[in-house]
Amino acid sequence: MRITLVGDVMLGRLVNEFLKERPAVYPWGDTLPVLKNSTDLRFCNLECVISDKGKPWSATPKEFHFRSDAKNIQVLLAGGIDVISVANNHSLDYGYEAAVDMLKIFDGASIKHSGLGKSLDEAERLVKLNTPETRVGFVAFTDNEPEWEATKDRFGVLFVPTELGTNRSDNFLDLIRRYRSSVDYLIVSAHWGSNWGYEPPPEHILFAHALVEAGADTVFGHSPHVFRGIEIYRNRPIFYSAGNFIDDYAIDPVERNDESSLFVLEVKDSAVREIEIYPAKIKDFQVNLARGPELQLIGNKMQRLCRKFGTKMSFKKSKDCYVVAINNQ
């Protein structure tokens, strides 16, 4: 089984305006063969609201509000996206009306979603997807926007601060332990931390390790606008940040938020055997596979970041990608 993971997909603002004149397939560029033709399941974090309803959130201070037209659900369908994280700091940008509408749009398009719901029970619900080989589970949380926390009787996100030893973190780790017994392979999506920095904060490392110890087979982090290194902990991958994937953001000349990657997990017998990393670049509201010097530049940066965790990468010339092999023996 092969699973493709990508980071933040933001279809609002200028991307939304551009999509009024472009086909739904446009934002994915030439990454579609990797996304659709060679993998069984595809996941992204949706960094905006998809809806024609609602008004910008104003109950608490918020600088950026991202919304994409309801028709742009077709963009996610064009990319073959199977599961979406909506546990993040933009899922309520246009209030409860738009967020509720978005979930209905997902359900109408048969796209699974995790991390947002009418109550805590719904927000923390395990998403299950079955392939002929493996029962895969997804659960998404965020440590952003505590004002949006789902409760027993309030719509919101699955909010879990990444501090061990608190009621919320203990409850979430217990949840992971319970979920692990009902699937063969469990992916935990973590929308965490601030926007910048190539190094994960110490609390993310500790929390990711605790998630693996509780039963997560992959921890997939995002929220920072740049990618971070991959750690292999107890033979399970931890992606501390996947970075952006589609957006309209200004490019920082130092922390290059236009540099990205697709991550493909090769899973066999409920364990990751290999990770393929396809470097990519964001330009003109579109993501494309990196070529030539850009491929090497992004690959070399990822190698340096991974090396700090003792993770070894090699280049696979036949596929123009980098590979992390995992020894599960």
Mean pLDDT of the 30-57 span: 94
Query: Does residue 309 have a pLDDT over 60?
Result: yes
Can you give the pLDDT at residue 107? Answer: 98
Confidence of residue 327 (pLDDT cuts 50, 70, 90): confident
Mean pLDDT of the 263-276 span: 95
Can you give the pLDDT at residue 328? Answer: 59
Pick the CATH number of 2-325 from 3.20.20.370, 3.60.21.10, 3.40.640.10, 3.40.50.1100: 3.60.21.10
Can you give the pLDDT at residue 37? Answer: 78
In whole angstroms, give the CA distance from residue 126 to residue 107. Answer: 15
- Provide the mean pLDDT of the chain: 96
In whole angstroms, give the CA distance from residue 89 to residue 157. Answer: 9
Domain map (residue ranges) of the chain: 2-325
At 126-167, the pLDDT tens digits run: 999 988 889 999 999 999 999 999 999 999 999 999 999 999
Enter the pTM of the model.
Answer: 0.96
Are residues 283 and 293 in contact, defined by beta-carbon separation less than 8 angstroms? no
> If we measure between CA atoms, which residue out of 60, 51, 31 comes closest to residue 94?
51
In whole angstroms, give the CA distance from residue 95 to residue 100. Answer: 9
Alpha carbon of residue 234 to chain centroid: 22
**What share of the chain in percent tops pLDDT 70?**
99
Are residues 155 and 99 in contact, defined by beta-carbon separation less than 8 angstroms? yes
Token representation of residue 180: 């692990």
Can you give the pLDDT at residue 329? Answer: 42
At 210-238, the pLDDT tens digits run: 999 999 999 999 999 999 999 999 999 99
Task: Kindly write down the DSSP assignment for every residue of 242-311, as one continuous string.
Answer: B-EEE--PPPPSSS-TTEEEEEEEEEETTEEEEEEEEEEEEETTEEEE--HHHHHHHHHHHHHHHHTTT-
